[in-house]
């Protein structure tokens, strides 16, 4: 089945630094990728939708300049948390939509647990 | 109004019990529906899609009621390994909307 590889799985960084999270579709081409954020005991909140070769669409309240998304190829999308602060600490998950629909239409990466100290 | 509403629980049930979760959605144009399972500190994984005719996969039965705009998940003969958070997901247009998740703990 469709697999999305997300790295790193866990990162601890100092306040003010930037962190890049990668999501790769391993055996299919992901024309659309979704980036979510999940707080403890809360559901996933969509941050942005990235389409290969075009600018990402951000959800209301999500800062474009803080959460930079790049979807340069059909197999790779990246989320960069710039100038991270402790309040950015969270679980970030990507998901990719397969062209053919696939497993429920999309597959999740394994998530990245970001801790900003 | 939220796109998807789901009772967060928690549901604590003994092994072997039958438990049901419901989820309502607000947009009548929503096209497809899913139940995902999320274990603690892990990513959600697809449990099953939900079809209008209802569908069953072993101990799990999913149903969709378009008229009332709700979906349900029934788990029979609960196992300890069923303990997790169950998320209902609704696809509307190009967007996927998640419920808050329902926490289930199966007790020995």
Q: Which of B32, B43, B89 sits opposite A111 (nearest CB)?
A: B43
Per DSSP, what are the bridge partners of residue B46? B36
Is the pLDDT score of B1 beyond 80? no
CB hemisphere CA count around B19 (13 angstroms): 24
Mean pLDDT for the stretch of residues A72-76: 88
The pair phi, psi for residue A30, each rounded to 5°, is -100, 100
- What residues in B contact A5, CB-CB < 8 Å? none
Please tell me the predicted confidence (pLDDT) of residue B18.
97
Mean pLDDT of A9-22: 96
CA distances from B108 to A69, A112, A116, B102 (A): 45, 32, 38, 19
| CB < 8 Å to B23, chain A | none
B101: its two tokens: 């998740």
- The nearest alpha carbon in chain A to B38 belongs to A43
The pLDDT score that the predictor gives to residue A21 is 97
Interface residues from chain A to B (CB-CB < 8 Å):
32, 34, 42-46, 49, 91, 93, 95, 103-111, 113
| Residues on B contacting A at a C-beta cutoff of 8 Å | 32, 34, 36, 41-46, 49, 87, 89, 91, 94-101
CA A78, distance to chain mean position in Å, is 6
In this predicted structure, what is the pLDDT of residue B52? 85
Residue A10: pLDDT band with limits 50, 70, 90: very high
Q: What is the mean pLDDT of chain B?
A: 91
Which is it for strands B32-38 and B55-57: parallel, antiparallel or unpaired? unpaired
A75-to-A18, A33, A57, B19, B64 alpha-carbon distances in Å: 23, 10, 18, 39, 34
CA-nearest of B92, B107, B14 to A46 is B92
Closest CA to A92 of A21, A37, A43: A37
The pLDDT assigned to A63 comes to 94
């Amino acid at each position: 089945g469709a697999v999305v590889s997300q790295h790193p799985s866990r990162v601890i960084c100092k306040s003010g630094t930037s962190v890049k999270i990668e999501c790769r579709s391993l055996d299919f081409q992901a024309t659309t990728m979704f980036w979510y954020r999940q707080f403890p005991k809360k559901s996933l909140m969509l941050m942005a939708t990235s389409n290969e070769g075009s600018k990402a669409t951000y959800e209301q309240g999500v800062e474009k300049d803080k959460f930079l998304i790049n979807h340069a190829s059909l197999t790779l999308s990246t989320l960069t948390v710039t100038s991270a602060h402790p309040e950015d600490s969270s679980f970030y998950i990507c998901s990719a939509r397969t062209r053919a629909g696939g497993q429920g239409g999309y597959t999740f990466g394994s998530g990245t647990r970001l801790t900003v100290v | 109004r939220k796109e998807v509403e789901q009772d967060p629980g928690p549901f604590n049930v003994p092994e072997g019990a039958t438990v049901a979760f419901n989820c309502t959605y607000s947009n009548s144009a929503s096209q497809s529906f899913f139940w995902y399972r999320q274990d603690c500190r892990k990513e959600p994984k697809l449990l099953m899609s939900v079809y209008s005719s209802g569908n069953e996969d072993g101990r799990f039965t999913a149903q969709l009621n378009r008229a009332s705009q709700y979906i349900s998940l029934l788990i029979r003969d609960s196992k300890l390994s069923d303990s997790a958070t169950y998320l209902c997901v609704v696809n509307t247009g190009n967007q996927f909307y998640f419920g808050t998740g329902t926490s289930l703990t199966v007790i020995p």
